[in-house]
Amino acid sequence: MDNIFAVHNLHRESVTEFLRRDPHLRRLRELPLVYESPLLDGFPLESPGIYALGGGRQVGKTTLVKQLMGRLLQTKKSLPERIHFLSGELVDDHHSLVRHLMSFLPSSPTRIGEELTYVFVDEVTYIKDWDKGIKYLADGGFLDSVWLLVTGSDTVIIREAMQRFPGRRGRASQVDFHCRPLSFREVVRLRGSVPEDFISTVCECDWPELTSEMLHPQIEDLELAFREYHLTGGYLTALNDWVRDRSIATATFRTYADWVRGDVLKKRKNEFYLREVLAAILRRYNTQVSWGSLAEDLPIDHHQTVAEYCAILESMDVLFIQSALDQDRLGPAPKKARKLFFTDPFIHHALRAYVQDMENPDEEIIQPLHTNELELAHLAEAALANHVHRHYPTYYIKAEGEVDIAYVKDNQFWPLEAKWTGQIRPKDLKQIAKYSNGIIAGRSHEVRNVSNVPCYPLPLVLLRFS
């Protein structure tokens, strides 16, 4: 293996040195909160194949890979010489990728059943035509006894490339994995905000079984955790800043904004247009927009350009484009307006700071949010839509009235209204009241009925959909 990758393969010296000196594991130990993703237990490590781990930047994909390498080494599932890590940022094209891989793969095709070799290619989408190199090795039999994981930040590119490997990805039931910012429930558990037995109790029973008495011991602590989640989101850097300093460093905002800016520019897009599109999204947040209406007040020639930039942001896990629901087809209604949400509260804050050139975004965004209930209401609806979207096809309903969220499950849709306001007006519920299976997520510490629709505390609903 080329020495340029040595810093990430310190296990070749010794397992102890890898665990002590690896740059990602070392930085992880220095944090107040150390997170282990459930994906560590989800990878089928005994089954050779070509696996993919997608997800936006700065969500911990590389750290997750290093933790997985550590597990393999510590549990002796594999000898150190059979574990290899390559950084795609240092590999130019598929020819170079094949040469690097062949430097430690067997020089002739392997036999199925041999001891597995584990190969990790991080940020593979940096490598030009990387899929051609992987396909060549798979077709030649060089990967028959290899467990290969590629990671990438552009989920669309990863997904499309993997479709070019039919019959070559192995026999495991799941071969594609996704790494996201922590959910609200994961943040609550990591911080120990409420007891684990409370989380288990309120998340495992059916909706009608929930009572105010069950919630009463912990609901105030859960609401505090909900408010703080909307400051930090699920990004561990921001979360650790907050736990350590009760503020979020300007450098942390800059890191996430620079990721978005840099990856868009790598696609040869215009930074001025990017800022204008982001500013338009922020101005029209939580409202219904068409690409044409979004472009009306922008110095952009065509609405299709706006749609293209939004599609790029969606492929990077930055944006969730929520379509209206076609209730007959249980799918998107393409001719109706859309709603645009950032996928995490903190990425919302970081991009707002970028667009508005803020010098101290913690003072200008985070600290005021403690008392800005209207802003929190907007963020709460976005967070709830994104949490539901992690598990189900998710839309909104536009008919005589509007319903914030409608997700499709068991061949039917389930309406969900987010109301973080002091008083819920009956006229705001005229649409959801038409459905027998609707739920309101409201600003309350009690379980109650409003216009004959069950209403639960919004932090509890967010917890359950995590």
pLDDT in tens, 297-332: 788 878 999 999 999 999 999 999 999 999 999 999
Contact in structure between 170 and 46 (CB atoms under 8 Å) = no
Task: Quote the percentage of the chain above a pLDDT of 90.
Answer: 80
* Rounded Cα distance, 156 and 161, in Å: 8
Would you call 76 helix, strand, or coil by DSSP?
A: coil
Please, which pLDDT band fits residue 207 given cuts at 50, 70 and 90?
Answer: very high
| pTM for this model (two decimals) | 0.91
Query: What is the arithmetic mean of pLDDT over 345-365?
Result: 97
Contact in structure between 447 and 456 (CB atoms under 8 Å) = yes
Query: What is the arithmetic mean of pLDDT over 409-437?
Result: 90
**29-77: per-residue pLDDT in tens?**
999 999 999 999 999 999 999 999 998 888 999 999 999 999 999 886 6
Same structural domain, 158 and 287: no
* Rounded Cα distance, 253 and 96, in Å: 35
In this predicted structure, what is the pLDDT of residue 157? 78
- At residue 291, φ and ψ (nearest 5 deg) are -60, -35
Same structural domain, 89 and 13: yes
Would you call 312 helix, strand, or coil by DSSP?
A: helix
Same structural domain, 294 and 408: yes
In this predicted structure, what is the pLDDT of residue 153? 84
On the question of pLDDT at 401 being above 60, the answer is yes
Strands 176-178 and 49-54: parallel
In this predicted structure, what is the pLDDT of residue 154? 79
On the question of pLDDT at 78 being above 90, the answer is no
On the question of pLDDT at 110 being above 70, the answer is no
End of a domain among 178, 195, 225?
178
DSSP symbol at 286: T
Strands 146-152 and 117-122: parallel
Average pLDDT value for the chain: 92
Higher pLDDT, 353 or 423: 353
Query: What is the arithmetic mean of pLDDT over 142-160?
Result: 87
On the question of pLDDT at 113 being above 70, the answer is no
In this predicted structure, what is the pLDDT of residue 439? 96
**215-233: per-residue pLDDT in tens?**
998 999 999 999 999 999 9
In this predicted structure, what is the pLDDT of residue 2? 81
Please, which pLDDT band fits residue 281 given cuts at 50, 70 and 90?
Answer: very high
Please, which pLDDT band fits residue 109 given cuts at 50, 70 and 90?
Answer: low
Contact in structure between 399 and 431 (CB atoms under 8 Å) = yes
Same structural domain, 109 and 189: no
In this predicted structure, what is the pLDDT of residue 296? 86
- Find the angle CA(15)-CA(19)-CA(25) to the nearest 5 degrees: 150
Query: What is the arithmetic mean of pLDDT over 91-112?
Result: 84
Q: Which tokens hold the place of 228?
A: 């703080």
Same structural domain, 173 and 197: no
* Tally of domains within the chain: 2
Same structural domain, 399 and 449: yes
Please, which pLDDT band fits residue 189 given cuts at 50, 70 and 90?
Answer: very high
In this predicted structure, what is the pLDDT of residue 159? 80
Query: What residues make up the domain containing 220?
Result: 184-464
* Rounded Cα distance, 258 and 291, in Å: 25
End of a domain among 150, 178, 206?
178
On the question of pLDDT at 94 being above 90, the answer is yes
* 151-155, 388-392, 452-456: least confident range: 151-155
Of the CA atoms within 13 Å of residue 310, those in its CB half-sphere come to 24
Kindly give, in sequence order, each residue whose CB lies less than 8 Å from that of residue 127, ignoring residues fewer than 6 positions away: 88, 91, 92, 93, 94, 96, 97, 121, 133
Same structural domain, 385 and 238: yes
Higher pLDDT, 139 or 162: 139
Q: Which tokens hold the place of 274?
A: 């990017």
Q: Which tokens hold the place of 151?
A: 């990671």
Same structural domain, 199 and 172: no
Same structural domain, 269 and 361: yes
Q: What is the CATH number of the domain that holds 149?
A: 3.40.50.300
In this predicted structure, what is the pLDDT of residue 162? 83
Would you call 379 helix, strand, or coil by DSSP?
A: helix
DSSP symbol at 324: B
Q: Which tokens hold the place of 24?
A: 């990602």
Same structural domain, 372 and 243: yes
* Rounded Cα distance, 215 and 431, in Å: 28
Same structural domain, 171 and 205: no
Same structural domain, 409 and 433: yes
